Amino acid sequence: MYLAKILITLRKSILDPQGKAVRHALQSLKLSGIEEVRIGKFIEIKISSKNKKEAEKIAEEACKKLLANPVMENYTFSIEELPA
Residues in touch with a second copy (CB under 8 A): 1, 7-9, 19, 22, 25-26, 29, 31-49, 54-55, 58, 61-62, 65-67
As measured in angstroms, the least distance from the Cβ of 23 to a second copy is 8
Smallest gap, in angstroms, from Cβ of residue 2 to a second copy? 9
If the CB atoms of residues 46 and 70 are measured against a second copy, the closer one turns out to be 46
Give CA–CA dist 69/13, Å, rounded: 14
Residues whose CB is less than 8 angstroms from the CB of residue 31 and which lie 6 or more positions away in sequence, other chains included:
none
> CB 71 → a second copy: shortest distance, Å?
19
Q: For the chain, give the number of residues.
A: 84
- In this complex, which beta carbon is closest to a second copy, that of residue 13 or of residue 32? 32
Rounded CA gap, 12 and 73, in Å? 9
Query: How many whole angstroms separate alpha carbon 82 and alpha carbon 53?
Result: 14
